[in-house]
Amino acid sequence: MTVQTRFSIPRRRVLAAGIGAMALSIPLAREASARYIQQRGMSGGGLAQLEGSEEPRLVNFGLFASAVQLPDGQNLVLGKLQWIEAGTDFQMQSIEVVQCIPIPNRTDGAEVRGRLQVNGEGDYPFVARAMDGGAPGSALDRIEIEVNTEAARQGARTEASDDEFEFVAAGNLVAGDMQWIIADIELGT
């Protein structure tokens, strides 16, 4: 008769090792699955017909603003605003974009804050509100901007270089498009 020896591990050791491995892996799995990057952005531009004057006033503008919240909670904001009024020498260009957030009580637009120069001079706080109201060419997208007004100065990091200058304009795009982008990106393991 032949005797075969079997290799055996005590059941209690196997059970303890399995529970220990599971306990070590669960916190890592939760941490990896709960990591997100939150991204909000407004991008676009075109030709807008400004309101508030008898003569047609047109502005050619471009706006890009993006706010990203990284998994560690740190915020990264990037952006640029360019504003050129047709038939005039009036231009505005951003120096810095510091905020891009959803417009309160709306789902179609962004409020963008920062600092800009007028005709290459000065340092003024601005707030722009851009709405993505429809497809390109629908005349439903809209741009509103305030420079050095009380609303623009809310939360500004620096003082304006001139307290006298203020600018307010608003209008719908007659050519071009605005795109409001919201993405919550889950990071893989």
d(CA 112, CA 172): 17
Nearest partner of 94 among 85, 81, 77, 112, judged by Cα: 81
Q: What is the pLDDT of residue 97?
A: 96
Q: What is the pLDDT of residue 153?
A: 93
The first and second tokens of residue 100, run together, are 């891009």
DSSP-derived 3-state class of residue 1:
coil
The single-letter code of the amino acid at 183 is A
Q: What is the pLDDT of residue 15?
A: 40
pTM of the model: 0.76
Residue 98 to residues 17, 134, 165: CA-CA distances in angstroms? Answer: 52, 26, 21
The first and second tokens of residue 77, run together, are 């904001």
Written as tens digits, the pLDDT of the chain (189 aa) is 555 544 444 544 544 444 444 444 444 444 444 577 778 899 999 999 999 888 889 999 999 999 988 878 888 999 999 999 999 999 999 999 999 999 988 889 999 999 999 999 999 999 999 999 988 888 899 999 999 999 999 978 888 888 889 999 999 999 999 999 888 777 765
DSSP assignment of 74-128, as one string?
-EEEEEEEEEEETTSS-EEEEEEEEEEEEPTT-SSEEEEEEEEEETTEEEEEEEE
| Residue 187 DSSP class | P
Long-range pairs of 154-158 with CB within 8 A, sequence gap ≥ 24: 154/127, 155/99, 155/113, 156/113, 156/115, 156/125, 157/98, 157/115, 158/115, 158/123, 158/125
